[in-house]
A and B are shown apart, each in its own frame.
Chain A
């Protein structure tokens, strides 16, 4: 009996650790090119850059938002947690912007590696990846 009681905390700790690891892996981070002087952004600012309501960074470089196809698991999370809208509403807004001539939609890529490569290569790019992704080649922004 005592032997079994000693194993319960270990099991519980393992469960909690795996849950927290999973939660961290699902969280996303905002990334920009390393040449971008910005270190902190609000969700509101990210939304404006994503929809090209703001088209230039403070240093005059054109904003290049990078997105995933809607079926990517991070796309919905970004839409709900950062843009504060359902995927359908985001899609509708992008279509309206495109076909009214206001702005073209973000570049859409298939994988996190593709997004990281794009952001690393393009001065004005801004994208998002999971917190567990290798972001050595880009800058992770603090999201307020």
Chain B
């Protein structure tokens, strides 16, 4: 007689699952015939679900599932992506290990480039963090799959040193870099922050890789500073990146000031896509304001004055663009 039995279902303790997320919607319109958004478009940009499952006091599985531009797979529109998915293990209070896919730690914005609730502006600084959109090349891959060691060290009182070092597959030409490495070389990177007080932090970032089958050399480095004596906030970064023989440089500075529910801000951002080529610079001056509708709901308005030199392959003229967005965190 044969006995058939079904294995007991895995029980999930929902008390150990924590989910947060954010959703936003935007409108933007430029005054140019071809650059920016000339038609004026509404865009349901992000719906991100961030979930953590605590397997134990020291081990957590984390993921950020992104639905971008409201995807419909039947139509082939929009994008669904795992922005990060990794297992994190707490070794000590000063050391954690992550294994899996994460947003590449570089400067301030890459790890929060989608997270509109984390900033008063709609757009992040494109010169460093979206260089390919404005005539340059990606300074770093948005994601890196590999092994990370990270943590905080408190030196005396509130003096804090925050670090992350990692090794990853790096950038591919064709294959999914979250699954396979197209060459034997591994990408390595690091970022260090020093915070002498709770209001100011200085950072340095580094990334090095060989890209794809051709093993094209790619190296990037950056410096960052954040000053946040609330209600004032200032951020500035400078980065350079060399891909094969081409070097690009970028920098931005931004300030914001919160008065009750209003946070006006201003940012100037500039990219030189190829330091050996003249007349290809891009720059953007963003002036805007964020209004807190409710504790976790913000309305944002901004004006973008974009300048593109004729030699820039993406933005070869000047134009102005207005944008509005509402973002909700939960």
Contacts and interface: CB of A to CB of B under 8 A. Distances in A.
A70 interface: yes
Contact of A53 (B20, B48, B84, B160): B160
B117 A54 contact: no
A99 B50 contact: yes
Contacts, number: 72
Contacts of B112: 96, 99-100
Contact of B57 (A54, A56, A105): A56
B88 to A, nearest CB: 9
A99 B329 contact: yes
Interface string B46-69: 001010101001100010100000
Given A62-B58, A88-B231, A56 B118 contact: no
A53 B57 contact: no
Given A55-B90, A55-B93, A70-B295, A101 B50 contact: yes
A85 to B, nearest CB: 6
Q: Which of A55, A56, A60: most chain B CB closer than 10 A? A: A55
Interface residues of B, number: 35
B76 interface: no
A70 B296 CA distance: 11
B137 interface: no
Interface string B155-177: 00110100000000000000000
Contacts of B115: 99-100
Contact of A89 (B48, B57, B228, B295): B228
B62 A56 contact: no
Interface string A14-27: 00000000000000
Given A89-B228, A99-B22, A44 B158 contact: yes
B193 to A, nearest CB: 12
Contacts of B111: 100-101
B62 A61 contact: no
A104 B64 CA distance: 13
B57 A124 contact: yes
Interface in A84-105: 84-86, 88-89, 91-92, 95-96, 98-101, 104-105
A48 interface: yes
Contacts of A60: 57-58
B152 interface: yes
Contacts of B92: 56
B102 A61 contact: no
A101 B295 contact: no
Interface of A: 44, 47-48, 53-56, 60-62, 70, 84-86, 88-89, 91-92, 95-96, 98-101, 104-105, 124
26 contacts: A44-B158, A47-B158, A48-B154, A53-B160, A56-B92, A62-B54, A62-B90, A86-B230, A88-B230, A88-B231, A88-B258, A92-B230, A95-B118, A95-B296, A95-B329, A99-B48, A99-B50, A99-B118, A99-B329, A100-B111, A100-B112, A100-B115, A100-B118, A101-B50, A101-B103, A104-B20
